[in-house]
Amino acid sequence: MHEDVAGQIWEAVDHWVEGRREESVRLLDTLMTTQSPNMLFGVACGIAVIAKAAMQKIYGNYCETCSWAIGAVGCAVPEGAVPPSALFAARFIVATLNSDKATALALYLAVDNSGDVKRRSEYMHALLATTGEAVLLATSGAGR
C-alpha cells in the first residue's frame, strides 16, 4: 500500500515537471479522496522530500548547524508577498529541509483540522506545484 502511494507521489511530481499538470492534479486528487488524513500527512511529507532533494541539488548540502528560512523581497514579512497556500508550501518544505517534523505536522494539522476540504486541496496542490517547480529548477527542465 505505502509503495503504491509513494509511486503515485513520484508520478504526480513527474507529470508536473513534464508539463502534464492536469494529470498531476488528478493523481493528487485521487490520493486526497482515497487516503486517510494520517496518510495525507505522509503524502505531504513525500512531496516535500522531493522538494528537499531538488533544493539541495540547487543550493548544495548545508551544515548540520545551519537552518533554512523563508525571506520576502520588498516587504517585511512573507505574509505580505504570497498567498496563504504558497506560504504553506514554502513553510512545509522549509520544515522538511530543516528536519523539523513537529513544525511540518503542526502546519498540516492547521490545514486539516480546519475541516475545509477545499482549503486542504488548495494547500496540497500548492505544495505539489512548488515541488514541481523546484525540480524544474534543479534539472535541465529549468531552461524551458
Provide the domain limits for residue 71.
2-143
- One digit per residue, the tens of pLDDT, for the chain of length 144 reads 477 999 999 999 999 999 999 999 999 999 999 998 889 999 999 999 999 999 988 887 766 667 777 766 666 666 667 789 999 999 999 999 999 999 999 999 999 988 888 999 999 999 999 999 999 999 876 555
Residue with cell string 509503495 = 3
- The length of the chain in residues reads 144
Measured between alpha carbons, how far is 5 from 9 in angstroms, rounded to an integer?
Answer: 6
Q: What is the pLDDT of residue 67?
A: 78
Which of 72, 47, 35 has the alpha carbon at shortest distance from 125?
47
Q: What is the pLDDT of residue 74?
A: 66
Terminal-residue alpha carbon distance, the chain = 35
Q: What is the pLDDT of residue 78?
A: 64
**Contacts for 12 with CB less than 8 Å, ≥ 6 apart:** 24, 27, 28, 31, 47, 128
- Give the count of domains, the chain: 1
pTM of the entire predicted model: 0.88
**Contacts for 9 with CB less than 8 Å, ≥ 6 apart:** 31, 43, 46, 47, 50
Sign of CA dihedral 58, 16, 7, 120: positive
Measured between alpha carbons, how far is 9 from 27 in angstroms, rounded to an integer?
Answer: 8
